[in-house]
């Protein structure tokens, strides 16, 4: 089936009256970027909706991309026909015929933005409904729970006809909430945390702590791949890779092993904060979930939070591991996350990490280290990797 355009609905945005204009502009920009590989496509704003004119492109390919854009609630491939009642009837019939094997009931829902059109909405519904019933035997009208909604929108010289909605991702367009710094490990959780923050409009910058040679180049590549995968939902990502070997070695040499995780986390937060300020981010994001592992207790979070004044967002806080895994599978990061490469947290993992670290003990331990210098050096030696969508690095192989 060939369609002329795709109608996009953005539900929630319509409610936020004050910021509406900014939101729609950002959404249009994000859609245009996402569809840049189809140069003849054009995105048109209409009241409360957007239309993507396909200009000959395959609608399925375009839709599969639109399904990765936050802020879109509903997607429907549509026909654009001249506003004449007979043309509307023909197209509506074609729509029902194309789906007659799957449906037994339908309902016509019309909207007339152009009052010049000689039929009112209820008359359009009746005209089209009656015509379909006269042409196809085994379908009926069901005004409450139809299998197929036939939407007809008369807008000036042209009208749009489309069937049931395809669900979009929802949320807010990436960019409307400002930038955040995601602490991205190679694990399952942090990519999901980044995804969820972007779902609420956050633009991502990511930071990864890398302890070469304790952690391999492959472990780093895994993180690059995860960030690269996230670009399909969030657009460009600046990934910052921080050399962490020196800090980990120093902690290992000078501090109680039961406090090493806490101290290491505090370093991560200090460095992330410094990088966040440098790159214009207003919050840090982690993949922590309450009580999941020894270091993710409220006591631990208190001691770790104490080194920063930036908010630390933990979007997975209310989720079970299984829910996180399911979402990771859905967004496509799971397969990469479970590849067996070591993480800097596991390399020096103490036998008995403190689940309830105390602030004064932590601070006393840290006196044995030159914190400022270590943080500054790490920040200075940070590598910047800019990732953009549609540049999947296909050369690297794990095997
Ligand atoms: P994940 O699945 O995201 O690795 P996790 O369940 O392994 O999380 P932790 O090891 O306690 O949990 O890490 C908690 C959070 O700290 C991670 O979700 C991530 O945000 C951050 N983090 C841990 N290791 C790193 C790292 N090497 N670089 C950047 N951030 C990290
Ligand atoms: Mg981890």
What CATH number does the domain containing 69 carry?
Answer: 3.30.2130.30
Q: Is residue 296 part of a domain?
A: yes
**Residue burial 97-113, b: 16+ Cβ < 10 Å; e: rest:** eebeeebeebbbebebe
Same domain, 121 and 184: no
Residue 94's φ and ψ, nearest 5 degrees, are: -60, -40
Domain end, chosen from 167, 200, 232, is at 167
For residues 271 and 373, membership in a common domain is answered with yes
pLDDT average, residue stretch 190-202: 97
For a ligand 1 pocket test, name from 215, 265, 345, 354 the mutation site with the most ligand atoms within 8 angstroms of its C-beta.
345
Residue 236: inside a domain? yes
In this prediction, residue 399 has a pLDDT band, given cuts at 50, 70 and 90, of very low
> What is the pTM assigned to this prediction?
0.91
What is the pLDDT averaged over residues 25-40? Answer: 96
Return the structure tokens found at 37: 């590989």
Please report which residue ranges of 202-305 form alpha helices under DSSP H.
Answer: 217-234, 245-254, 260-278, 298-305
The answer to whether residue 392 sits within a structural domain is no
Half-sphere exposure of 208 (CA within 13 A, CB side): 31
Co-location of 240 and 313 in the same domain? yes
In a domain? residue 397: no
Of 134, 167, 200, the position where a domain reaches its end is: 167
At 33, list the tokens: 């970027």
As for how many domains the chain has, the answer is 2
Q: How far is the CA of 209 from the centre of ligand 2 (A)?
A: 11
Q: Are residues 216 and 344 in the same domain?
A: yes
What pLDDT does 99 receive? 87
Q: Are residues 148 and 199 in the same domain?
A: no
Q: Is residue 172 part of a domain?
A: no
The H or E element containing residue 237 is: strand 237-243
Does residue 347 sit in the same domain as residue 268? yes
- Tens-digit pLDDT profile for residues 309-340: 999 999 999 899 999 999 999 999 999 999 88
> Does one domain contain both 152 and 209?
no
Distance 187 CA to ligand 1 centre (A): 7
**Nearby residues for ligand 2 (ion, Cβ within 5 Å):** 185, 187
Same domain, 160 and 225: no
Percent of the chain clearing pLDDT 70 (strictly above): 94
Are residues 162 and 188 part of one domain? no
Average pLDDT over every residue of 345-374: 87
229 shares a domain with 86:
no
User: Taking CB atoms and a 6 Å cutoff, what residues make up the pocket around ligand 1?
Assistant: 183-185, 187-190, 207-209, 286-288, 292-293, 295-296, 343-345
Q: How confident is the model at residue 394 (pLDDT cuts 50, 70, 90)?
A: very low
**Ligand 1 atom nearest residue 292's Cα:** 6
Instruction: Judge if 334 and 374 occupy the same domain.
Output: yes
**Residue 394: inside a domain:** no
Task: Give me the domain span that covers residue 15.
Answer: 5-167
Q: What span, in angstroms and rounded, lies between the C-alpha atoms of 20 and 26?
A: 10
| CATH number of the domain where residue 205 is located | 3.40.50.620
User: In this structure, is residue 173 part of a structural domain?
Assistant: no
Confidence of residue 190 (pLDDT cuts 50, 70, 90): very high
Last residue of a domain, one of 123, 147, 167: 167
308 located within any domain = yes
Cα(279) to centroid of ligand 2, in Å?
Answer: 24
- Bridge partners of residue 207, in order along the sequence: 183, 240
Give the residues across from 161 on adjacent strands.
79, 152
Residues 146 and 263 in one domain: no
Output phi, psi for 36, to 5 deg: -60, -25
Question: pLDDT tens digit string along 80-137?
Answer: 999 999 999 999 999 999 888 899 999 999 999 878 889 999 999 999 999 999 999 8
């Amino acid at each position: 089936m060939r369609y002329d355009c795709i109608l996009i609905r953005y539900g929630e945005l319509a409610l936020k009256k004050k910021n509406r204009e900014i939101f729609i502009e950002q959404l249009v920009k994000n859609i245009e970027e996402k569809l840049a590989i189809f140069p003849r496509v054009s995105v048109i704003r209409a009241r409360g909706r957007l239309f993507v004119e396909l200009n000959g492109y395959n609608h399925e390919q375009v839709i599969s991309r639109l399904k990765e854009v936050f802020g879109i609630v509903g997607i429907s491939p549509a026909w654009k026909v001249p506003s004449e009642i007979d043309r509307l009837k023909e197209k509506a019939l074609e729509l029902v015929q194309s789906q007659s094997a799957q449906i037994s009931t339908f309902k016509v829902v019309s909207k007339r933005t152009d009052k010049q059109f000689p039929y009112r909405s209820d008359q359009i519904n009746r005209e089209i409904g009656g015509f379909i019933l006269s042409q196809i035997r085994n379908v009926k009208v069901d005004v409450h729970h139809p299998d197929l909604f036939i939407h007809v929108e008369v807008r000036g010289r042209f009208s749009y006809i489309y069937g049931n909605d395809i669900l979009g991702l929802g949320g807010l367009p990436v960019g409307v909430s400002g930038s955040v710094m995601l602490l991205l490990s190679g694990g399952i959780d942090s990519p999901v945390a980044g995804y969820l923050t972007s779902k609420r409009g956050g633009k991502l910058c990511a930071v990864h702590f890398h302890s070469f040679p304790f952690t391999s180049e492959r472990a780093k590549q895994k993180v690059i791949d995860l960030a690269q995968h996230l670009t399909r939902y969030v657009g460009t990502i600046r990934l910052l890779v921080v050399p962490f070997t020196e800090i980990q070695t120093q902690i290992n040499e000078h501090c109680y092993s039961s406090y090493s995780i806490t101290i290491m986390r505090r370093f991560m937060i200090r460095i992330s904060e410094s990088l966040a300020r440098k790159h214009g981010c207003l919050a840090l994001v982690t993949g922590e979930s309450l009580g999941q592992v020894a270091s993710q207790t409220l006591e631990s979070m208190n001691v770790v939070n104490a080194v920063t004044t930036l908010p630390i967002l933990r979007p997975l806080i209310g989720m079970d591991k299984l829910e996180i895994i399911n979402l990771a599978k859905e967004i496509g990061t799971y397969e990469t996350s479970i590849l067996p490469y070591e993480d800097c947290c596991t390399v020096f993992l103490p036998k008995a990490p403190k689940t309830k670290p105390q602030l004064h003990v932590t601070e006393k331990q840290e006196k044995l280290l030159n914190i400022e210098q270590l943080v500054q050096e790490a920040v200075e030696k940070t590598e910047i990797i800019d990732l953009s969508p549609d540049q999947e690095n296909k050369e690297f192989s794990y095997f």
